Structure 1
């Protein structure tokens, strides 16, 4: 393949990925959250959370770099298919089919790098490694953390309870479980303060 054709394809890939900076996450749009996060914003914070793994809180020696890579590719297909949620009227099977097709297209644009991205995406989808399972924990945790941030911003305790209900008891890694406990504690405190202010 000539360098010009290769670079043309890479540019197409980068433009596709660039869409993720502007596509709002569907769950928040459906909940009427103003100025909600983009898909890229979600993936970015997930990626940063992988840096928080240390010798103390990572007893199973997860590969941090692999966790970071999975975090950065897990929603990549959404630059083509959009952010499909259970509320979109698309079956889980159809969602997976569309996303798989999109990832194959992305892989074709970037050659060996694309093959690697596709492999990591499948690893996440099929939950076939400890790193993929950790990334799933990050995905769920970032969602409830974001939900709590919106509740605080809008001074609306429990407004986004459905996101907490959907993830309850579904975290596995001890480090993330500890963060969930702290988040729940702060959320409870926020609710109590709001009730006191309402009655003041």
Structure 2
């Protein structure tokens, strides 16, 4: 296996792969713009957001969906932001222009990969952008769900419930989110069951977290 791998990414190919990895590594240092605009301390990066989305996709329980494809879509959907940054609605950039910039960025990024991988990553990004599959539509829901989960965590950390309510209000089109054993169903308004759950209730449902005799810990 080692000889095949070294042959596949030898010489210029290996250097291009390293360039690709360094480029997407920039996502670790691109903050999520929405949190920056709301003066959140130590806002998450785009990479943080994509990672938890991928984990969410990995633990889904829906036989109608291709789980592996959902994970791949989650890992690719914001990849262009390593070049263009996280363009938020508050930036007032038209949707068409945002798409054009990200499309050019994805072409630039994937040019560093062998043809088969180049095609796979670009088509995954395009599938998400056009919402052309059930998996892409589901991952779009995960994108929204991860955002409000993060908003809830920031409110808890700052001890300011409701400070980020507009992030919840922006997810009116999200209908249902089933995350492993937790079921967060959308209500008639834009308040999520997650926000109403007590910390103890959440801990009790997480089998890897200890309860009793002090605060919960990993």
Q: TM-score, normalised by structure 2?
A: 0.79
1:40 is displaced (CA, Å) by 0.4
Superposition RMSD in Å? 2.2
Which blocks of at least 5 consecutive residues in structure 1 are unaligned? Answer: 191-200
Match among 10, 18, 25 for residue 11 of structure 1: 18
Match among 35, 46, 57 for residue 53 of structure 2: 46
Match among 79, 82, 85 for residue 85 of structure 2: 82
Is this contact kept in 2: 1:24–1:36, CA < 8 A?
A: yes
Tell me whether 1:92 sits opposite 2:100 in the alignment. Answer: no
SS at match of 1:179: strand
1:20 is displaced (CA, Å) by 0.6
> CA 1:2–1:131 in structure 2 vs 1: closer, same or farther (change >3 Å)?
closer
- Following the alignment from structure 1 to structure 2, what is the Cα–Cα distance between the partners of residues 172 and 48? 20
Is this contact kept in 1: 2:148–2:167, CA < 8 A?
A: yes
- Following the alignment from structure 2 to structure 1, what is the Cα–Cα distance between the partners of residues 157 and 9? 51
Is this contact kept in 2: 1:134–1:173, CA < 8 A?
A: no
* 1:128 corresponding residue in structure 2: 132
> CA 1:142–1:2 in structure 2 vs 1: closer, same or farther (change >3 Å)?
closer
Which protein has greater RCO, CA pairs closer than 8 Å, 6+ apart? Answer: 1
Is this contact kept in 1: 2:142–2:177, CA < 8 A?
A: no
- Following the alignment from structure 2 to structure 1, what is the Cα–Cα distance between the partners of residues 123 and 148? 27
Tell me whether 1:156 sits opposite 2:122 in the alignment. Answer: no
- Following the alignment from structure 1 to structure 2, what is the Cα–Cα distance between the partners of residues 2 and 38? 29
Which blocks of at least 5 consecutive residues in structure 2 are unaligned? Answer: 1-7, 199-218
* 1:185 corresponding residue in structure 2: 193
Match among 130, 134, 141 for residue 137 of structure 1: 141
Q: TM-score, normalised by structure 1?
A: 0.86
- Following the alignment from structure 1 to structure 2, what is the Cα–Cα distance between the partners of residues 21 and 2? 24
1:180 is displaced (CA, Å) by 4.5
More helix by percentage: 1
Is this contact kept in 2: 1:73–1:117, CA < 8 A?
A: yes
Q: What do residues 48-90 of structure 1 show as CA deviations (whole Å, max 9, x unaligned)? A: 0112222xxx15x200000000000000000000000111132
